[in-house]
Structure 1
Amino acid sequence: MRMPIHKQIIWWSVAGLLLLLTMWLLGQAILPFILGAGIAYLLDPVADRLERMGLSRTLSVVVITFVVVLIFVAAVLLLVPIVVRQAAALIETMPDMLQQGQEFLTARFPDLLPEGGTLGSAMSDLNAAMGEQWGTIAQSVLTSVGGMISMVAILVIAPVVAFYLLLDWDRMVRHIDRLLPREHAPTIRRIAGDIDETLSGFLRGQGLVILILGTWYSIMLMLVGLPFGFFIGVMAAILSLIPYVGVLIGGATAIGVALFSFWGDWFWIASVVAIFGLGQLVEGNYLQPKIVGGHVGLHPVWLLLALSVFGTLFGFVGMVAAVPMAATLGVIARFLTERYRDSALYTGQVLPPEPGQPQLIEIVPTGTVEQQIRTARLAADRNRAQGQIEEMQHELERKNAE
């Protein structure tokens, strides 16, 4: 007997609410596992390509792990200390920059900041507060983000989870596919494929864009001699995950530091402006269209909304999961929109029901219903046995491939 649609919706809604409740209750505890799953998802195409080149799955994962660990260690030893040092120095220097900016505006535009005026008093109070608190804030942020225990857990557990998930990724996907409800399996596969295309296109494409922009901004700002140039370039590139946010915040910070450091030397100030202008020009006209593409479907406003909502509900875990959840909800929203356009609610016309099949009433001998039940049970047993045989075949193929 077929389960009614409304009962299926209730069951899947309850499962979704339980998932959200789990994220909200566990919070920081599941962060390493979410990060590990994300890493495995991003690296699975690389492992598949190495397999097509002739390597076994295990050897492919080992090679990928070695390369990733090597890159990570190099980044920690060479790049992270520079970023942390320049970030701390910029935070400590910020009150002096604001004070100098206020003095410049007061001297050049006295009507804008009159002595004792509201805006002038507010800026003075801000400078005083920043001078007292920025050092403590910087030390707290740089030394205890999430606590040392959480940081160690992320650095240790996430790579281990990523390694094992990457090793069994294809088998895990096949197992999940076999568990899909048979009635809706084609639709679920289609939605999952659209989510995968959206999410992978955005993450891999945007990651490459961030890498290119970060290299350009950081190297060029260091070449022009801008203080804290490496940190500002990296920050602007990472914030470019949201269009225009990176260039606005990074560009404003870089130009402010350039005015503070190069005042009177307009060539270097113009050079900083040109670096961000050229970076924005290349990103908007080449990198985003060619690498990310317009088929991704993650609108900046939708992404900002997802970051805000999931960050508020689930904290840092929600911000990590915001991009996948935004991609998932976006694809589901487009699917529901298609179904809505085909429904009577949109067209205003209710289609007549399909004519039912004529019923044939036949008098059968005693025991016929019991025989039909036995036949149905035998068919169900055969289906379960066939599923077990398929799993054994998949396991044998995996062992032969290794």
Structure 2
Amino acid sequence: MTAKTISSGILRALGIIAAIALGLYFLYKIESVLAYLAIAAVIALIGRPVILFLRHKLKFPNTLAVVLTMVLILGILGGILALFVPLLAEQGKNLSLLDIEDLQQNVEGLYREITQYLGLSQSDIEESIQESKIFANLDFGFIPNFLNSLMGTLGDLSIGLFSVLFISFFFLKDSKLLQSGILAFVPDRNEQRTIKSIDKINNLLSRYFVGLLLQILILFIIYTIVLLIVGIENAIVIAFLCALFNVIPYIGPIIGGVLMILLTMTSNLGADFSTVILPKTGYILIGLTMGQLIDNFFSQPFIFSNSVKSHPLEIFLVIIIAGLLFGVVGMIVAVPGYTAIKVILKEFLAENKTVKSLTKDL
């Protein structure tokens, strides 16, 4: 091997590394666009069954079916915003006029009620508050500032929403648009296999996301009924938020449960702890338990077995590994990503023993 060959090999390797680095940097700079594409693809997969129903069952033209589907999606988004915008506006107005010292005193009062209920004396409470300085170190002034910054980002969110809906329309109108873009980078000999893989992935993920919406709807109904029975204000909004957290596997239900309990307790500040706050919190815990039992033993097994064709234990391990590697985002995309990988492996490595075992149900 000559020096010229070695130097050319080194230069080629450096060129490849530089190209990869530039590619990764480019993807990093356009991460918002990639997020829009990903969200639009999910919306297109959710809307796909509606379009197929309108086209095949009701014989609607493709463009009309897409327009009606987009109107339905916009109606759902508008309904969700209609729930939250008045609440945010009201709370923002209240918090803009909020007396921070009064809020701090209310939280201290709740703390005293809890410690009194646990059997601690008033002197112990006062001494522990003074020694720990827990409330002195808490800056409740961040709440109005946070809301102001949140309102400032609404403009950016509106641009993102418009972009997502615009891309979703064309994904729905031309179902082969994304496929054509992928095939541009695929060699001719693998084109048919790639098309079959994409069609299979679309079918599985479409059923998965529709099932996920059904899962959220079931929890939303259960939580709403529980909160309305208990008599919590803004029950529908709180139930929707807590049900939405279920999109994050395993961690999401815990976050949603803690949020619901905190909102229940803080909405009854000033009431008697033992006769009002504690019983309501207990009822909320019962409702949360019922919702999670139904979700764990009915909703999730139904979704995983009938949509992505994977065993619940298999899904559990994939989600845990993805969470350890990529955090919360990894947990959210673990199931769709794993499903896509399984379909591709089955199409291109069908004879492999391990692949056969993992994809026998596909």
CA contact (8 A) 2:45 2:202 kept: no
Q: Normalised by the size of structure 2, how large is the TM-score?
A: 0.68
Change (3 A) 1:328 1:65: same
Counterpart residue number, 1:301? 320
TM-superposed deviation, 1:289: 1.8
Counterpart residue number, 2:141? 132
SS at match of 1:184: helix
TM-superposed deviation, 1:27: 2.7
CA contact (8 A) 2:36 2:163 kept: yes
Q: How does 1:138-217 map onto structure 2 within 5 Å?
A: 138-141=147-150, 143-145=151-153, 148=155, 150-170=156-176, 173=179, 176-177=182-183, 180-185=186-191, 188-189=194-195, 192=198, 195-196=201-202, 199-217=205-223
TM-superposed deviation, 1:237: 0.5
For 2:64 and 2:296, locate their aligned partners in 1 and report how far apart those are by CA, in whole Å: 39
For 2:338 and 2:106, locate their aligned partners in 1 and report how far apart those are by CA, in whole Å: 38
Q: How does 1:259-270 map onto structure 2 within 5 Å?
A: 259-260=265-266, 261=268, 263=273, 264-265=275-276, 267-270=279-282
CA contact (8 A) 1:307 1:323 kept: no
**Letter in structure 2 aligned against 1:26:** I
For 1:14 and 1:28, locate their aligned partners in 2 and report how far apart those are by CA, in whole Å: 23
CA contact (8 A) 1:61 1:166 kept: yes
Counterpart residue number, 1:37? 41
CA contact (8 A) 2:323 2:329 kept: no
Larger radius of gyration: 1
SS at match of 1:60: helix
TM-superposed deviation, 1:224: 2.1
Q: 1:81 aligns with which of 81, 86, 93?
A: 86
Is 1:121 aligned to 2:153, yes or no?
no
CA contact (8 A) 2:246 2:256 kept: no
TM-superposed deviation, 1:94: 7.8
Change (3 A) 1:242 1:233: same
For 1:270 and 1:43, locate their aligned partners in 2 and report how far apart those are by CA, in whole Å: 39
SS at match of 1:183: helix
Change (3 A) 1:307 1:78: same
For 1:169 and 1:85, locate their aligned partners in 2 and report how far apart those are by CA, in whole Å: 42
Moved more, 60-69 or 167-176: 167-176
TM-superposed deviation, 1:59: 1.7
TM-superposed deviation, 1:240: 0.9
For 1:253 and 1:323, locate their aligned partners in 2 and report how far apart those are by CA, in whole Å: 25
CA RMSD of aligned residues (A): 4.5
**Letter in structure 2 aligned against 1:99:** E
Q: 1:62 aligns with which of 38, 63, 67?
A: 67
For 2:167 and 2:28, locate their aligned partners in 1 and report how far apart those are by CA, in whole Å: 21
CA contact (8 A) 2:66 2:172 kept: yes
TM-superposed deviation, 1:221: 0.8
CA contact (8 A) 2:66 2:169 kept: yes
Counterpart residue number, 1:347? none
CA contact (8 A) 1:236 1:251 kept: yes
- Cα deviation code 1:272-324 (max 9, x no counterpart): 2222122112111222222443735643324534663868xxxxxxx997775
Q: Normalised by the size of structure 1, how large is the TM-score?
A: 0.62
TM-superposed deviation, 1:33: 4.0
For 2:230 and 2:50, locate their aligned partners in 1 and report how far apart those are by CA, in whole Å: 37
CA contact (8 A) 1:43 1:166 kept: yes
Q: How does 1:70-109 map onto structure 2 within 5 Å?
A: 70-82=75-87, 85=90, 98-107=107-116, 108=118
Change (3 A) 1:186 1:170: closer
TM-superposed deviation, 1:259: 4.3
TM-superposed deviation, 1:136: 1.3
Q: 1:238 aligns with which of 210, 229, 244?
A: 244
**Letter in structure 2 aligned against 1:167:** K
Counterpart residue number, 1:273? 285
Is 1:290 aligned to 2:302, yes or no?
yes
For 2:207 and 2:22, locate their aligned partners in 1 and report how far apart those are by CA, in whole Å: 29
Change (3 A) 1:325 1:221: same
SS at match of 1:124: coil
Gapped regions of structure 2 (runs ≥ 5): 1-15, 356-362
Change (3 A) 1:26 1:207: same
Counterpart residue number, 1:249? 255
Change (3 A) 1:227 1:76: closer
Counterpart residue number, 2:52? 48
For 2:112 and 2:141, locate their aligned partners in 1 and report how far apart those are by CA, in whole Å: 19
- Cα deviation code 1:28-62 (max 9, x no counterpart): 35544443333223322321232212222112112
SS at match of 2:231: coil
Q: 2:32 aligns with which of 12, 23, 28?
A: 28
- Size of the aligned set, in residue pairs, is 321
For 1:192 and 1:232, locate their aligned partners in 2 and report how far apart those are by CA, in whole Å: 38
Query: Aligned residues: percent identity?
Result: 21
Moved more, 234-243 or 66-75: 66-75
Q: How does 1:367-378 map onto structure 2 within 5 Å?
A: none
**Letter in structure 2 aligned against 1:61:** V
TM-superposed deviation, 1:331: 6.4
